[in-house]
Amino acid sequence: MSEVKQISIIEIAKSIDGEIVGDDSIMITGVSSLKEAKVGYMSFLGNKKYASQIKDTAASAIFVGHDFNKFDAADKTIIICENPNMAFGAVISMFAPPPIEFPLGISESAVIASSAIIGENVHIGPCAIIEPDTVIGNNTVINAGCYIGHETTIGENTFLYPNITIRERCKIGNRVIIHPGTTIGSDGFGYEAGPTGIIKIPQVGIVQIDDDVEIGANCTIDRARFGRTWLKMGVKLDNQVHVAHNVVVGEFSMLIGQCGIAGSAKIGKGVIVAAKAGINGHITLGDGCRIGGTSGVVKDVAPGATVIGTPAEPQREFMTRYILPKTVTKLKAQLKEIEERLKKIEG
């Protein structure tokens, strides 16, 4: 029904400061990965190891980096640029439908405590609940069904998707994005064996989320036993990540899907915890370290180190362990040979 959008390759190259090599008269009609591209589409080579896909793609033009070997271009038109992935992202946005606009104002069905301090230019969606003594900063969006607990403060330009729960006394910074279904400020898991059974230890601390943090869907971030559970500036969480009480995550670290950080662990700056990894309580991951997917980390990791496996160990040791069946097969063969030589001697 709608006409196909067309953008000239010259306009595209100009917008991302790239250099066209090939046919500069092409009109681009869509975007896609190399494998799924159609004629007229713009694609990108994000990683040189996929260069062989270029000769087979139907894409009409491809973003490549400065390190691209032009012989790999086959007869395709390329745009050489600083960062093919980023350039591609910019073109995606050109073809994308306009972002959803949430109207300014407070929905009639939202329930806002009279003591709440609400900034300017906010959107507060239907059935959102804002409890007493909260502060909501300017230009912040709180979508339908969100719950903001007592005395919690939320900064400016922050965006909460629907059905998020943030309990009392938490501190959420500026330009924070939180995806649906996430819980912030639930009690940490703390019990003591008492004379009459298990006794719950009060969890009276808070969660502090600093500026520019993004938190995926259905994550859980527990409040501290005392003090704070703390995600520092620029931290990014994927979906279904669990952060326990009193954990501190350093600036710009990334916690990937379904990983979990146990209580009081300290994660340094720029750390990547890959998918499904588990980090023990009370340990420290040094700045810039990398934790392999599904790993179980049971002791401190040095800054910059890469560990993998359960219990997690350096990649070299993990590989030694991984090839152990082959190593043992060789030993068996050697043993057999020795036995034969022995027999000969004995015989």
Sole binder of a copy of itself in the list 217, 231, 265, 307 (CB under 8 A)? 217
Could you tell me the two tokens for 16? 């991302």
Q: Is 165 in the site for a copy of itself (CB under 8 A)?
A: yes
Residues between 265 and 304 with contacts to a copy of itself, criterion CB under 8 A: 275-276, 278, 280, 293-294, 296
Residues between 222 and 241 with contacts to a copy of itself, criterion CB under 8 A: 222, 225-227, 234, 236, 238-240
CB under 8 Å to 299, separation ≥6 — which residues? 280, 283, 311
Query: Least Å distance between CB 75 and a copy of itself?
Result: 25
Nearer to a copy of itself, 75 or 99 (CB): 99
Closest CA to 210 of 199, 218, 201, 221: 221
Residues between 130 and 149 with contacts to a copy of itself, criterion CB under 8 A: 143-145, 147, 149
**Does 282 qualify as catalytic in the annotation?**
no
Query: Least Å distance between CB 155 and a copy of itself?
Result: 17
Sole binder of a copy of itself in the list 17, 36, 56, 120 (CB under 8 A)? 36
CB of 131 closer than 8 Å to CB of 113: yes
Q: Is 341 in the site for a copy of itself (CB under 8 A)?
A: yes
Phi, psi of 73 (to 5 degrees): -75, -10
Burial group, residue 70, by CB count within 10 angstroms (0-12, 13-18, 19+): exposed
d(CA 49, CA 140): 42
Query: Least Å distance between CB 95 and a copy of itself?
Result: 8
Nearer to a copy of itself, 56 or 317 (CB): 317
d(CA 110, CA 127): 4
Nearer to a copy of itself, 25 or 100 (CB): 100
CB of 297 closer than 8 Å to CB of 281: no
Residues between 112 and 131 with contacts to a copy of itself, criterion CB under 8 A: 125-127, 129
Query: Least Å distance between CB 340 and a copy of itself?
Result: 11
d(CA 306, CA 302): 9
Measured CA to CA in angstroms, residue 181 lies from 93, 123, 219, 229 at distances of 26, 19, 7, 19
Phi, psi of 334 (to 5 degrees): -60, -45
Count of beta carbons in the 10 Å neighbourhood of residue 131? 19
CB of 298 closer than 8 Å to CB of 281: no
Number of residues engaging a copy of itself in binding (CB under 8 A): 109
Query: What residues does 307 pair with on adjacent strands?
Result: 291, 314
Query: Residues 66, 242, 245, 282: which is the catalytic one?
Result: 245
Nearer to a copy of itself, 25 or 139 (CB): 139
Give the contact letters, 41-80, x = binds to a copy of itself (CB under 8 A), - = no: ----------------------------------------
Could you tell me the two tokens for 234? 């620029």
Sole binder of a copy of itself in the list 14, 66, 200, 299 (CB under 8 A)? 200
CB of 98 closer than 8 Å to CB of 116: no
Nearer to a copy of itself, 156 or 313 (CB): 313
Which of 151-157's residues contact partners 24+ apart within 8 Å by CB, and which partners?
152/185, 155/211, 156/119
Nearer to a copy of itself, 202 or 304 (CB): 202
Contact region with a copy of itself (CB under 8 A), list: 9-17, 18-26, 73-81, 187-195? 187-195
Sole binder of a copy of itself in the list 22, 40, 89, 286 (CB under 8 A)? 89
Query: What residues does 106 pair with on adjacent strands?
Result: 124
Q: Is 81 in the site for a copy of itself (CB under 8 A)?
A: no
Residues between 15 and 34 with contacts to a copy of itself, criterion CB under 8 A: 31-33
Catalytic positions = 245
